[in-house]
Amino acid sequence: MVEKILEETPVAAVELDQDEKNIVLIAAENRQSQVYELIMKRKLMHLMQEIVFGAVDKDGNSALHLAAMLGSNRPWPIPVAALQMQWEIKWYKYVKKSTGSKFFMHHNAKGETAREIFTNTHEPLVKNAGKWINDTSQAGSVVAVFIATVAFASATTVPGGVDQNSGFPIFEGKRAFQVFALSSLIALFFSITSLITFLSILTSHHQEPHFKRILPMKLILGLTTLFLSIVANLASFCAGNFLIIEQKLKYAIYPIYAAIGLLVSFFALAQIPFYIDLLKANFGMVPQRPQKLHPL
């Protein structure tokens, strides 16, 4: 609808509301990224472009000032404070890049710069984001320690024992033994990697700039390696169990293996929306309105 209006009436871009805000100021304030992008991509006359993006409202707030404000309106439908903070930083940087350097140190009627407004209004969100990412990292590190302990025990255990004459494992030539040995090492590697990543999050500075890329990337790495360690550990257990179980029971145990696989699959599918939005938040240049997240 906005695109149609601008096509029919280009001067609508400079129209003001009762607060002396044009379409750019309103889009910046309400985080309407699609509208903001549309205006940026439109081939307006140079003079009109400067007027539209260089406007200030009745309080002297530029588009950058309004993008820096965090009020009661939360346009990003993200229940996770850390991702909310990441989107806010990206939105501020995006608007900052589009408005040019003249508004970096511009003061509004209250004598505030956009940077000062951003820091002051986002302080509670930074605290909430730090608490959430700490709680998530603590929970993840506990699971990682458990998986690492089990994986280490599996990696140092030989199913069926060793041949007394040759000293080699009895099941050395069996494919299930190779799966067991490899998956045990993989589980140990990924669980230790996950543990180190979560510990690095817990010991990191939880300040405003760190939520743009550093902490979210560490969170993605920690969650990814944790899930891979769980899958590898289950594969190790099933392979080891398959080796030592009696021949006549091997076919009866397949449904149990299938049930374990289904449980892991259901858990993974339930987390896919959250994981996808994590990736979008980290690698997307312009904040978009993501689907509703389901946090871990």
pTM score of the predicted model:
0.79
Facing residues of 169 across strands?
A: 162
Q: In angstroms, rounded to a whole number, what is the distance separating the alpha carbons of residues 258 and 255?
A: 5
- SS3 call for 56: coil
What tokens were used for 254? 């397949």
CATH class of 2-121: mainly alpha
User: Distance from CA of residue 3 to its chain's centroid?
Assistant: 31
pLDDT at residue 117 greater than cutoff 80: yes
Q: What is the pLDDT of residue 65?
A: 92
What tokens were used for 10? 């280009």
Higher pLDDT, 155 or 194: 194
- Residues 164-172 have a mean pLDDT of 69
pLDDT at residue 285 greater than cutoff 90: no
Higher pLDDT, 43 or 88: 88
Using pLDDT thresholds of 50, 70 and 90, give the confidence band for residue 103.
Answer: low
Q: In angstroms, rounded to a whole number, what is the distance separating the alpha carbons of residues 267 and 98?
A: 41
Q: What is the pLDDT of residue 295?
A: 42
Helix ranges (H only) for the chain are 2-8, 23-29, 33-41, 46-53, 63-68, 81-99, 114-121, 123-155, 175-202, 214-244, 250-283
Q: In angstroms, rounded to a whole number, what is the distance separating the alpha carbons of residues 180 and 183?
A: 5
Average pLDDT value over all residues in the chain? 82
Higher pLDDT, 295 or 97: 97
Using pLDDT thresholds of 50, 70 and 90, give the confidence band for residue 3.
Answer: low
- Residues 59-87 have a mean pLDDT of 81
What tokens were used for 8? 């029919």
Using pLDDT thresholds of 50, 70 and 90, give the confidence band for residue 130.
Answer: very high
Q: Which residues contact 242 (CB under 8 A, 6 or more apart)?
A: 176, 250, 253
Using pLDDT thresholds of 50, 70 and 90, give the confidence band for residue 294.
Answer: very low
- Residues 73-92 have a mean pLDDT of 79
Delimit the domains of the chain by residue range.
2-121, 127-283
